[in-house]
Structure 1
Amino acid sequence: MTVNVLVLTTYDESPFLNQQIVALESRGLSVDTLTVSGSVSAGESRGILDYLRFFPEVRREVRQGDYDLVHAHYGLTAPMALAQRAVPVVLTLWGTDLEGPGGPVSQFCAPRCAEVIVMTESMREELASDCTVLPFGIDLERFRPESTATAKARVGWELDEHHVLFPYPPERTVKNYPRAKRIVDAVDDRIDCSVRLQVVHGVDHEQVPTYMNAADALLLTSKHEGSPTAVKEALGCNLPIVATDVGDVSERLEGVDPSTVATSDDELVRGLEAVLERGERSNGRRAVRAVSQRQVVDRLLSVYGRAIDGRLTIERDPAAV
């Protein structure tokens, strides 16, 4: 018997969400996606009218469809998911929806959902409801180590320079691009080899592994995060990481060498300098196996099973065991 899922999201172009949906469909589930209307650009948010219009859209879709559950991604979609009473709701909180202005909405809606998923242990502690810690997984078949020289040639980066990857739009204030530039400029002044900050965003997601393998380090200077996917993707490629202590970064980088988790600018500078001077790839792939797409989806299926009271049997992927 097919499990029919309606996914609610504020951003239907999210690569990691879309990969999860594809993985669910590969297990035999039927997944439809409904997105909050209205355009949104970096640094801007939708207006309240966009969310108000979403209420009747969700209720109409559930009424007309044959769904077993609604999976609401991001806290601001939870009120719309709960406005219908026909099927249970699974809520996934991404991080900013718990820590930011929308936090009260997430806190109010979470205990009213059948199941709640969060990205990190710290989010679990902050949320006043039962929940499952389950970050988005990555496709380890796509994100894997390749020749750095070959990757640099493919993206057109000079071989005799250090390339530090910043995989976000500079306009996204939460990612703190000014700090990343400040750190790279400081390291460039301290070592002989030229250091370039490579801002890469908006490229096809299939090209991201090539940039990960071409880079000499990933620099994450975010003010706050849930479970940053770029960190897990970098680990899959054995790309060294220098990052602020946000979200689950410390947990992901435990035992990963070379890599650095820091708080101050001075620590970030010294950490990035050490990584670049060492010039080696990391052992990160071993550390990221626990959040491979297969294992994460297998656990998500268990969450779905609990949400629908075990009325449907969902087959697990034996390769994920």
Structure 2
Amino acid sequence: MTEALGARPSALPPARPLRILAVTNLWPENGSYRGIFVQRQVSALRALGHHVDVEVIAQSRGKQDYFTAAPRVRQRARQGNYDIVHVHYGMAAPAARLTGHPATVLSLYGSDINVPRQRLMTKLGWGTSRARIYVSRRLAETAGDPDGHVIPNGVNFEFFQPGDRLTIRRELGITPTAKVVLFAADPARPVKRYDLFRDVLTELRRRDDSAQELILHAEGQSQADLVRKFDAADVLLFTSQRGCEGSPTVIKEAAAMGLPVVSVDVGDVAEILDGVRPSAVVRYPAGPIEGVAHTRLVTELADRAEEILTAGRRADGRERVSWLDERLVAQRITDVYHTVLTS
């Protein structure tokens, strides 16, 4: 596979702006931030001078659109005179397969490879792609794709900048002495394992009753409010289900904000947090996570979080992950486009 972790993008800008059609089932709609990382990538590509149109599959149209979208996507691809058709997420691939476009790129994000049912849909659709981009090395290895490019999603470092923590805490009604543990997802999504988070938080409260939770997800909140929660928290506790993450964007955003992270070992979290201090990555136990295994996992996550809460300092992640600036990532993706167009 072609590695791009920390790689330097090409020094020269593209010879000309490209016309790109992004086809995706991940896109913010109706106040939701689902797929915000795809939207940000599109914005970063546009900032490089490329023309990018977006065709959204399913979402508000319903799941049946996965099976009925192909004629619509094909028509748009043929009418738009595009240099590249870039498909985001494997579930969108079958609808884009029949476009007949000679320069199709497919980005894969996690569950589209890790979940067997979705992997089947992905494999049905990726046959005509000229290049595949994986957000983590582990995901490419799981897919068994030695020819894939590994390019994690980027972060907008201008937007994700640390602010005045004391002022932000006061505005959010959080006392200066509270030890705030951030859950960076929607508790209603089972794969994010809010149940495991709560068990760890209960253990932390048993040791120190000043520990309290803060939920990152809130319907209708602004992006500015989301950033303020990173500032207000003392540690991000990431508890996603094993095998259901590719390259979680929230880990990179936390690093950019200087927020320490304690995470289970999923996706590329260990690679992203390599060298970031203080932070910790805890391996999932082998086999079912229940009984003694569950208790041990909760204890180890609580131990690592307690160490960070006790130290009370911010992490050096902003410097460590500067290579994930979304502008640099957009240039790496542009390099893939040009490889496809010249091969």
**TM-score if structure 1 supplies the norm length?**
0.90
Structure 1 residue corresponding to 2:256, chosen from 225, 228, 236:
236
**Structure 1 residues 22-48: Cα deviation after superposition (integer angstroms, max 9, x where no partner):** 1111111111111113439xxxxx53x
Maintained 8 Å contact 1:219/1:243? yes
User: 2:226 matched to 1:205?
Assistant: no
Are the structure 2 counterparts of residues 160 and 188 from structure 1 closer, same or farther at C-alpha, using a change threshold of 3 Å? same
1:39 aligns to what SS in structure 2? helix
| Residue equivalent to 2:36 | 15
Q: CA RMSD in A?
A: 1.6
**How does 1:50-61 map onto structure 2 within 5 Å?**
50-61=65-76
What pairs with 1:1-321 in structure 2 (closer than 5 Å)?
A: 1-13=16-28, 14-39=35-60, 47=63, 49-100=64-115, 101-129=117-145, 130-191=147-208, 193-201=209-217, 202=219, 203-223=221-241, 224-262=244-282, 263=284, 264-309=297-342
| Gaps in structure 2 of 5+ consecutive residues | 1-15, 29-34, 285-296
Query: TM-score when scaled to structure 2?
Result: 0.84
Question: How many residues are matched?
Answer: 303
Give, in whole Å, the separation in 1 of the partners of 2:25 and 2:124: 19
Letter in 2 for 1:204: S
Aligned-pair CA distance for 1:199: 1.1
Shift of 1:308: 1.7
* C-alpha distance in 2 between matches for 1:36 and 1:67: 18
* Amino acid in structure 1 at the alignment position of 2:108: L
Percent identity reads 33
Inter-partner Cα distance in structure 2 for 1:307 and 1:156: 52
Q: For 2:79 and 2:237, how far apart are their aligned partners in 1?
A: 46
Q: Which runs of 4+ in 1 moved over 6 A?
A: none
Match of 2:6 in 1: none
Distance 2:91 2:58 in 1: 13
Quick check: 2:197–2:239 contact (8 Å CA) kept in 1? yes
* Alpha-carbon contact 1:67-1:87 (below 8 Å) kept: no
How far apart are the structure 1 equivalents of 2:172 and 2:342?
Answer: 49
Q: Which has the higher relative contact order, 1 or 2, with Cα contacts under 8 A spaced 6 or more apart? A: 2
Confirm or deny: 8 A CA contact 2:185 2:216 kept in the other structure: yes
Look up the equivalent residue of 2:171 and give its one-letter code.
R
